[in-house]
Structure 1
Amino acid sequence: MDALKKQLDEMKETFTYRMKDFQKDLQKGNSDTASPSSRLASDFAVFRTFVMTSLECLQSQMELMSRLADQMESRSRRKILLIHGVPETKNENTASLVAETLAKHLTVPALTPDSFSKCHRMGQAKSDKPRVILIKCRDHLIKSKMWHDKKGLKNTGLTLSEFLTKPRHDAFMAARKKFGIKQCWTRDGCVYVMDSTGNRHKVFTVGELDAIPGEGSPVSTPNDVIRQDVTPTVPRSRPKRNLRNK
């Protein structure tokens, strides 16, 4: 889908560039002759309008297909969570390791290896840090309880996050950068942003962030909202400047 979008954008850019050159040549030819060819100029205008309308229609259709594909992909991930920070050992039983680790910190009842239909590390093994573990719950209710109770992992070095699609993950990262970490969270695969007036917005792509006014200032989030886990950052104190020496 991304390759198709890129190809369409390049085709539109090339067509626009060539049409501008053709129009310049046409205007130059008209100024050099005593009787300009009004019919040729009219045909050119009609053709340009037709092609640009067609390209815009194709682009709209492609954006619709991309959104539908994203919705389907997100729906298939609704039972999946990612757990970060679990120490990695050779020949480990990942499902048992995750169930035992989470049972120590979460209050989810009857959490066992059988609670997961999938449980495995993602990516290639690295020596410096453990890989993320993907866990797919058999029951969406178990996933929801784990997500709701994830505050129990605070100060443990472990974090839970949702398995977002690429467009939603990009939107989430961009929203955190623009509005601040405390103003952004995810729930059931959707990205939420709180603006400076306290209004909550649901976004799915980076482009939708432009419709949210301003760069959010710190606003308290309602208690009923489940946030994406983030590691708090402690601001460094800056030394006071001696103005007398200036």
Structure 2
Amino acid sequence: MECAKCSQELTSPKKTAKCSVCDSSFHPSCTRIKNLDTYKQMNKDRRSKWKCDACKAKSAKSVKPAVEEDSSSESDSNDQVNVAAVLAKLSRQVGALASVPTDVADLKKSVEFMSSQFDVFVADMAKMKSDVQKLESENQKLKSSVDNLQTKVDYLEQESRRMNIEVHGVPETRNEDCEKIVKDLASFLEVDIDLKRAFRAGPMKSDRSRKILVELKSEESREAIANAAKRNEELVASRFSKSWPSKRIYINENLTGYRANLLHQTKMFAKQANYKYVWIKNYNVYMRKTEGDRAIKVNKIEDLSLHS
């Protein structure tokens, strides 16, 4: 329930003054009673006969001598009550309108605050965008530097392997002599090599034998045995031991981890893109789509996307 004067909520019947004519309710402080303490001091009879200012004013104007009262007095009284009710309603509406300027002012302040906050947000977003662009530029420079360093490190590592080869497909046996195996392979291929040493390399695997890493004394020996092995399709394990399977033995250049991965990725790409040939020459990866096409050198994995 709201006060008919100020339109604020009435919290308790004991703190509410009620008009005996129009039944409108008020805060005592919103009437001529002035305050709650004065209202509490009024006895029950006075409270029950209490009239609001509007109804009291109407009653004063409508008072007539008793001799002039006639049968129309009851109708006039009802009209007075209706007018008083309308006036009370208007009073409540006017009271409600009184708070509109304050509400508008508060709304204006809120809008201004939100506008200022939005401006701050826009400025912060612009700064963040600028910072991100700077970071992206710095990241690109760092990536370029890392790529250059990786290329240099890979080159130096590959240079240290220029006289090495890898032998794949030779079954691993106990007490084997890797140097003798390599010499037997060279003899079968009719190639003279300057052997420095040979040994198994890499982690043990249950499903296949480890590769034999061969260190030679010259690049000429490396090129001779690697090229001869590629041309000879009869290089199978069973030719060197009856207990070995008839599986191909491969002799490859000893690639760095980076180039070995590049070769693997190039082979996978070639299967998907229908490139027929992929090979290694002087530690560089090449591919060719069909016989007679030009050879494509693959320097990095990103190069593959240029030929899809």
Shorter-chain TM-score: what band?
0.5 to 0.7
- 1:204 paired residue number: 299
- 2:232 paired residue number: 152
**Which structure would you say has the larger RCO, counting Cα contacts within 8 Å and 6 or more residues apart?**
1
Secondary structure of residue in 1 paired with 2:279: strand
> 1:137-167: per-residue Cα shift (whole Å, max 9, x none)?
1011011111121122535131112222222
CA contact (8 A) 2:199 2:214 kept: yes
Q: Which amino acid aligns with 2:191?
A: V
- 1:32 paired residue number: 114
Q: Which amino acid aligns with 1:33?
A: S
| Distance verdict in 2 for CA 1:209–1:154, change over 3 Å | farther
> 1:60-81: per-residue Cα shift (whole Å, max 9, x none)?
1111111111111112112111
CA contact (8 A) 1:170 1:206 kept: no
Q: TM-score, normalised by structure 2?
A: 0.51
> 1:100-135: per-residue Cα shift (whole Å, max 9, x none)?
23312x1213x4xxx222310113555654321000
Farther-moved stretch of structure 1 (58-67 vs 193-202): 193-202
CA–CA distance in structure 1, aligned partners of residues 214 and 113 of structure 2: 71
Percentage of identical aligned residues: 21
Q: Which amino acid aligns with 2:285?
A: V
Secondary structure of residue in 1 paired with 2:261: helix
Q: Which amino acid aligns with 2:146?
A: M
Secondary structure of residue in 1 paired with 2:232: helix
CA–CA distance in structure 2, aligned partners of residues 149 and 187 of structure 1: 14
Secondary structure of residue in 2 paired with 1:81: strand
Residue 198 of structure 1: CA displacement? 1.1
The number of residues matched between the two structures is: 179
CA–CA distance in structure 2, aligned partners of residues 176 and 31 of structure 1: 63
CA contact (8 A) 1:153 1:159 kept: no
CA–CA distance in structure 2, aligned partners of residues 103 and 178 of structure 1: 36
| Distance verdict in 2 for CA 1:127–1:46, change over 3 Å | closer
Segments of structure 1 that go 5 or more residues without pairing to the other structure are 1-29, 215-246
Farther-moved stretch of structure 1 (135-144 vs 191-200): 191-200
Runs of 4+ in 1 over 6 A off after TM superposition: none
CA–CA distance in structure 1, aligned partners of residues 210 and 115 of structure 2: 72
RMSD between aligned alpha carbons?
A: 2.7
Find the partner of 2:213 among 129, 134, 138.
Answer: 134
| Distance verdict in 2 for CA 1:159–1:31, change over 3 Å | farther
Secondary structure of residue in 2 paired with 1:95: helix
Q: TM-score, normalised by structure 1?
A: 0.63
Aligned pair 1:73/2:163, yes or no? no
CA–CA distance in structure 2, aligned partners of residues 31 and 206 of structure 1: 54
Q: Which amino acid aligns with 1:53?
A: S
CA contact (8 A) 2:276 2:289 kept: no
Secondary structure of residue in 2 paired with 1:149: helix
Secondary structure of residue in 2 paired with 1:135: strand
